[in-house]
């Protein structure tokens, strides 16, 4: 059964409980390690646990379904609709390739060729092959500074010929040029909870959602907080205010005094004055100016999930490269023989003139 932290819903806040619940559930479903098909509480069960109206829970479930995060099964209830460990591309081909690699290793072992020499031979052979055309990749981000860091973290798993560009979600909503960039890209990367939104703007785009998790730096900083800290946890979006307390507690279970708020709350300055540690969500950077000097103050930053990069993105990019290479080869074979002969003739004439 899918867990819901009822204590994260604060009915004293001016943020509707339905908004808080949607933010809480959408965050867990898109950022946590929730397997596909995990059953959520029934509407009545969750409403009873949270002591809110069943209609509110029903509306939240409809929003989650529209966002592609849950699926409603007739007569059975709500289930998570995404699998953070799904793999794309031709898995059969990958398994076959691993088998062939094993055979090559066995042959090298019989011939007394050490693995290091074999690796050098393979690298040299690969460099002699026809260069593969790179992929055009677009990452759709929300906050530019963070999005640039995300792109930098994704780039190491790309190949040298690949090109990755950044488009901001707000820009995408209004700019025909940005929308065209998505249509022309081989693949568009974005957050799980933004996939449906991006797809609605550019339905023709090939979109792959990447799971994000709290960064290593964020986890370490939270673990290093004093148990006596009075923590202010500030979000940029009101929708996600309910996720701030459980997010801090996950990596700082020794801290009990946590107050959640949002960046434009009217009493934010008073809250920050009372607290001696401030954690702010990405986008709420201005909070740093209001925090008291000398106290811990840091961003709750996320990063691309390494498992998603290795087991989802990399195989899918390999799949796209194979498809692109096959398409290029098909085009090459359709070139009339006379055109090929003319190209050879032009090449010989150019070489003769250069020697002239």
The ranges assigned to domains in the chain are: 6-80, 97-128, 136-213+305-319, 216-300
Above 70 in pLDDT, residue 131? no
Above 70 in pLDDT, residue 301? yes
Tens-place pLDDT, residues 149-170:
999 999 999 999 999 999 999 9
Question: 17: pLDDT confidence band, cut at 50, 70 and 90?
Answer: very high
- Within 52-148, strands assigned E span 70-73, 77-80, 136-141
> By mean pLDDT, which of 32-36, 111-115, 124-128, 295-299 is the weakest?
124-128
- Cα–Cα distance for residue pair 301/307, rounded to 1 Å: 18
> By mean pLDDT, which of 65-69, 163-167, 172-176, 299-303 is the weakest?
65-69
Question: 252: pLDDT confidence band, cut at 50, 70 and 90?
Answer: very high
Question: 226: pLDDT confidence band, cut at 50, 70 and 90?
Answer: very high
Tens-place pLDDT, residues 53-111:
999 999 999 999 999 999 999 889 999 987 766 655 555 555 556 677 888 888 888 88
For the chain, first and last CA: distance in Å? 80
Does the domain at 136-213+305-319 match CATH 3.40.50? Answer given as yes
Mean pLDDT computed over 134-141: 97
Does the domain at 216-300 match CATH 1.10.8? Answer given as no
> Any residues with CB less than 8 A from the CB of 325 and at least 6 apart, and which?
132, 133
Residue 353 pLDDT: 53
6-80: CATH number: 1.10.10.10
Above 70 in pLDDT, residue 9? yes
Residue 5 pLDDT: 77
Mean pLDDT computed over 181-192: 97
6-80 shares its CATH topology with 216-300:
no
Residue 35 pLDDT: 85
Residue 345 pLDDT: 63
86-90, 128-132, 213-217, 327-331, range with greatest mean pLDDT: 213-217
For residue 107, CA distances in Å to 101, 102, 116, 125, 218 come to: 10, 9, 14, 17, 47
Residue 286 pLDDT: 93
- CA proximity to 261, closest of 231, 294, 288: 231
Residue 355 pLDDT: 52
How confident is the prediction for the chain on average, in pLDDT?
A: 87
Query: Could you tell me which residues are beta bridge partners of residue 167?
Result: 140
Above 60 in pLDDT, residue 194? yes
Contact status, residue 287 vs residue 234, Cβ threshold 8 Å:
yes
pTM of the predicted model as reported, rounded to 2 decimal places: 0.78
Residue 187 pLDDT: 97
Above 90 in pLDDT, residue 342? no
Residue 334 pLDDT: 58
Helix (H, G, I), strand (E, B), or coil: what is residue 206?
A: coil
Residue 344 pLDDT: 63
């Amino acid at each position: 059964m899918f867990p819901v932290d009822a204590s994260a819903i604060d009915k004293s806040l001016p943020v509707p409980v339905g908004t808080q619940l949607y933010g809480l559930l959408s965050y867990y479903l898109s950022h946590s390690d929730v397997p596909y098909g995990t059953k959520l509480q029934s509407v009545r069960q969750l409403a009873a646990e949270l002591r809110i109206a069943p209609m509110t829970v029903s509306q939240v479930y409809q929003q989650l379904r529209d966002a592609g995060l849950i699926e409603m099964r007739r007569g059975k209830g709500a289930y998570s609709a995404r699998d953070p460990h799904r793999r794309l591309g031709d898995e059969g081909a990958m398994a076959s390739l691993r088998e062939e690699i094993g055979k090559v290793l066995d042959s090298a072992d019989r011939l007394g060729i050490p693995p290091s020499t074999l690796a050098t031979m393979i690298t040299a052979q690969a460099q002699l092959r026809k260069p593969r055309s790179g992929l055009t990749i677009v990452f759709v981000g929300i906050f530019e500074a963070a999005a640039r860091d995300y792109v930098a973290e994704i780039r190491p798993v790309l190949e040298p010929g690949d090109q990755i560009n950044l488009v901001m979600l707000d820009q995408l909503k209004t700019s025909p040029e940005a929308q065209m960039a998505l249509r022309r890209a081989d693949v568009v990367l974005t957050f799980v909870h933004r996939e449906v939104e991006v797809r609605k703007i550019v339905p023709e785009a090939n979109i792959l959602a990447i799971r994000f998790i709290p960064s290593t730096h964020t986890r370490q900083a939270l673990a290093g907080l004093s148990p006596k800290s009075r923590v202010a946890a500030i979000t940029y979006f009101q929708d996600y205010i309910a996720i701030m307390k459980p997010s801090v507690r996950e990596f700082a279970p020794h801290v009990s005094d946590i107050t959640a708020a949002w960046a434009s709350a009217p009493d934010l300055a008073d809250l920050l004055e009372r607290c001696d540690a401030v954690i702010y969500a990405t986008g709420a950077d201005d909070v740093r100016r209001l925090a008291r000097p000398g106290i811990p103050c840091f961003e709750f930053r996320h990063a691309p999930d390494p498992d998603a990069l290795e087991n989802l993105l990399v195989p899918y990019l390999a799949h796209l490269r194979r498809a692109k290479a096959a398409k290029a080869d098909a085009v090459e074979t359709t070139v009339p023989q006379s055109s090929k002969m003319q190209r050879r003739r032009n090449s010989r004439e150019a070489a003769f003139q250069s020697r002239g």
